[in-house]
Homo-oligomer: A and B are copies of this chain.
Amino acid sequence: MPKVVRFHETGGADVLKVEDLPLIEPGEGEVRLKVEAIGLNRAEVMFRRGQYLQNPELPSRLGYEAAGIIDAVGPGIGAIQIGGRVSTIPSFSMGKYGVYGESVIVPDSAVARYPDNLSAIEGAAIWMQYLTTFGALIEFGQLKKDDSVLITAASSSVGLAAIQITKAAGASAIATTRGADKKQFLLDAGADHVIVTDKEDLAESVIAITSGKGANIIFDPVAGPLLEKLADAAASGAIIFEYGALSPAPTIFPLFSTLAKGLTVRGYTLFEIVRDPEKLARGKKYVYDGLQSGALKPIIDRTFPLDAIAEAHQYMESNQQKGKIVVTV
């Protein structure tokens, strides 16, 4: 029986249990994946805690991103080949289709080939980070080469993807990190400027870096009190994408800055892309082309075995990582 990760109560990382569950057959519109690698995301930590956009039905599976080989397809599925090397696009309910496991079922629309030059570990580290960033910066933000993009929590997989996509467009990437220990890593990852927020004032630094103009596009998963500082760092007419809720504190809307500067604050998730066939098609092409050309390249922090899934979640919550955490199966 394949191992599958589930949790029977919400809470800390130790609620995650590796269980032996019967092999399931894919139903209509579904395919089964023999999993090789699983990419971890903040969304799963939030879901496990009961703090995500959807609440789990217990016991619940979890997980959005896996790379593997298709080993069974449901009735009526033509285009997808058994034996195909694919990874999953987070476009499903992770309670229903969670991919933390050795053998998992997902909707057929959620699997996509990834370039042959990528390992399975890298294949599990592409769609969430690059499609999330593509949607905000390219699709909605219409990133141009004269733009200055402020990227908070830049050492996360999505933050690093944002640096790569910003640089691929020829624009300027301003990354933030709390501690000085990640500064050189972020410069090596392509950031034009790194602001160490424990030591430097975020808004003052951005204003100085941009010669007084401020950042045109801000890409932030933190929210909370940080939003007011981001508004101070914003250029006139800027757009601030909020794509997460890492701060537990209430988010104050910086009303006077937004009025004075004509700022847009945009709540945004990947689902706006993956649930729209045209946007998804543009996103997949953008990401695939970028991976093939080498403009986009997943940065893997470290891997854990499946049995150490709780430890892997604890590591993510420790905020030490620089890039993607992947579980190998």
Contacts and interface: CB of A to CB of B under 8 A. Distances in A.
B253 A259 contact: no
A245 B264 CA distance: 16
28 contacts: A53-B260, A223-B253, A223-B255, A242-B253, A242-B255, A242-B258, A242-B259, A245-B259, A250-B252, A251-B253, A251-B255, A252-B253, A253-B253, A253-B265, A255-B267, A258-B266, A259-B269, A260-B267, A262-B266, A262-B267, A262-B271, A263-B266, A263-B267, A264-B264, A264-B265, A264-B267, A265-B265, A265-B267
A263 B269 CA distance: 10
A272 interface: yes
B258 A267 contact: yes
Looking at chain A's contact residues, is the secondary structure mostly helix, strand, loop, or mixed? mixed
A159 B190 CA distance: 48
Given A258-B267, A264-B265, 8 more contacts: A53-B256, A250-B252, A251-B255, A253-B253, A259-B267, A260-B269, A262-B266, A265-B265
A321 interface: no
A47 interface: no
Nearest to A268: B262
A264 B266 contact: yes
Contacts of A227: 253
A247 to B, nearest CB: 9
A55 to B, nearest CB: 12
Give the most central of A262, A263, A271: most B CB within 10 Å. A262
Contacts of A259: 53, 242-245, 267-269
Q: Which 6 A-B pairs have the closest CB atoms?
A: A258-B267, A253-B253, A251-B253, A259-B267, A262-B272, A265-B265
A269 B256 CA distance: 11
Interface in A28-74: 53
Given A263-B267, A267-B263, A245 B252 contact: no
A8 interface: no
Interface of A: 53, 223, 227, 237, 242-245, 250-253, 255-269, 271-272
Contacts of A250: 252
A266 B266 CA distance: 8
Contacts of A261: 267
Contact of A252 (B242, B251, B264, B272): B251
Nearest to A266: B264
Contacts of A268: 259, 262
A272 B188 CA distance: 39
Contact of A245 (B223, B255, B269, B272): B255
A257 B269 CA distance: 11
A235 to B, nearest CB: 13
Contacts of A257: 267
A47 to B, nearest CB: 14
Give the most central of A245, A265, A271: most B CB within 10 Å. A265
Nearest to A261: B267
Nearest to A223: B255
